[in-house]
Structure 1
């Protein structure tokens, strides 16, 4: 790019005066970021505008010349020749004001445009995130519905036990892929320092096998959890255990229990 020719073209003066289109303003703004020589030229133009505005202010004309032409002793009428107005001075002054006003408007428009673009980008990113989250939730919901509506799925209700009779849960067991889907909406949030632990049970003899703890129970909105289960389960139970889980269930903290129905 020929910097000198670009400066001599006069387009930077029009830029400072705010006489260019929004597209042209943006193009020059981008060039200023790339070429320090152009930026320095714009700064010097702006400084010249400020000096021109201060220097071009019209000075008030004195009345001393008129007083000298008036004679208090002479009765004849003295013709007063009006002083010619310095229109060049006024024109330069007016042009400077217009130029300064144009510069202020242009800078103000740039700031507002940048703020609007930034706001639009943030809103667009937020909207895209919301759309992706909604799509993911919809896909997960469809998948879950397909699972629990499968004719081969085994549904096991888990009723409340002892002092926790109001608690409930439900297990959907898919033996084909050794997975259970636990709907634990009927359980309260785990207290601080505690965690829910899920158990697979065989009844004769009674043998519990841990299926793991639900670490994110309190933060999960749906309260539906997918858990691997390759055991020959005859029942499922849920207990409240210390963080990290226990090697065997704490029976005093057995909240729900449900027996797998025998095949007809």
Structure 2
């Protein structure tokens, strides 16, 4: 009995039964395997289990085969009357097994294709992220250069600085005007801008020979470039509250801040 069990165990571990299930055995091996299946219930159980696992795997990983393959399968599994029943049955099973192997191969190719497609997608996404980082870096680098130029302009010895102050319902308004006449440049930095009612904006004016000339509408905290040519002729700067988007004429009654400019000959 012990020798019998050892013989069965050696057979099951040889891989011959696995090859038989997928049709990868010779005629001699087929006879040997079929004898083992018929003589030993342990081998029969192992054989049945392998078939179930193979069908389960094929069903789980199935893909739609081409039409021509379907026709070949139907032709293969149609019994041939001239063959002996046992031989015909085994050939049909081998044919089915071969088809299953083909389907599994196709499934494997499909899986590899999906993996390859996924990898390509990851590469595309990574490349896009890298390009975005490059653009962000370039943008940050540009912003850095702009800031450096702005600071150089502000700190230049020829740049005059005018701090305009005011209060809107006890909230401070702070606008700093920078003017460099030799360089012909002027800009403003907005340090504090109290929120106004909807439909209203602040507006910056230059007084040129008694006439208010608009320089900028102030509705956010972003720095703004203003006309140095107008400042060259102006006697003072003024901020008023106007309708949203600005006005063509200053509403002097709504003046919230004013500061005189130095007269440079």
Give the structure-2-normalised TM-score: 0.58
Partner SS, residue 108 of structure 2: helix
Instruction: Provide the residue aligned with 1:133 in structure 2.
Output: 139
2:68 counterpart of 1:48: yes
Counterparts of 2:78 and 2:177 in 1: how far apart (Å)?
91
What aligned pairs does 1:88-99 form with structure 2 within 5 A after superposition? 88-89=94-95, 92-99=98-105
* Aligned residue in 1 for 2:216: 213
Q: Residue 143 of structure 1: CA displacement?
A: 0.7
Counterparts of 1:119 and 1:262, CA distance in 2? 59
- Equivalent residue for 1:201? 207
List 4+ stretches of structure 1 deviating above 6 A: none
Alignment partners' CA distance in 2, 1:189 and 1:226: 22
| Preserved contact between residue 199 and residue 210 of structure 1 (Cα < 8 Å) | yes
Structure number having the greater helix percentage: 2
Question: What's the offset of the Cα at 1:152?
Answer: 0.9
Distance 1:97 1:162, change over 3 A: closer
Aligned partners of 1:172 and 1:182 also within 8 Å: yes
Q: How many residues align?
A: 193
Task: Structure 2: give runs of 5+ residues left out of the alignment.
Answer: 1-64, 80-84
Shift of the alpha carbon at 1:91?
A: 5.5
Structure 1: tracts of 5 or more residues without a match:
1-44, 60-64, 67-81
Aligned to 1:223: 222
1:23-172 matches, within 5 Å, as: 46-52=66-72, 85-86=90-91, 88-89=94-95, 92-160=98-166, 163=169, 166-172=172-178
Alignment-derived partner of residue 20 in structure 2: none
| Corresponding residue SS for 1:223 | coil
Contact 1:239 1:254 in 2 (8 A): yes
Q: 1:188 to 1:165 in 2, by over 3 A?
A: closer
Deviation string 1:184-222 (CA, Å, 9 cap, x unpaired) is 1211356543333211236xx7x243243337x43xxx5
> What's the secondary structure of 1:170's corresponding residue?
strand
CA distance, structure 1, for counterparts of residue 168 and residue 199 of structure 2:
22
Question: Relative contact order (alpha carbons < 8 A, sep ≥ 6): 1 or 2 greater?
Answer: 1
Distance 2:135 2:217 in 1: 27
Listed as ranges, the matches of 1:2-21 within 5 Å are none
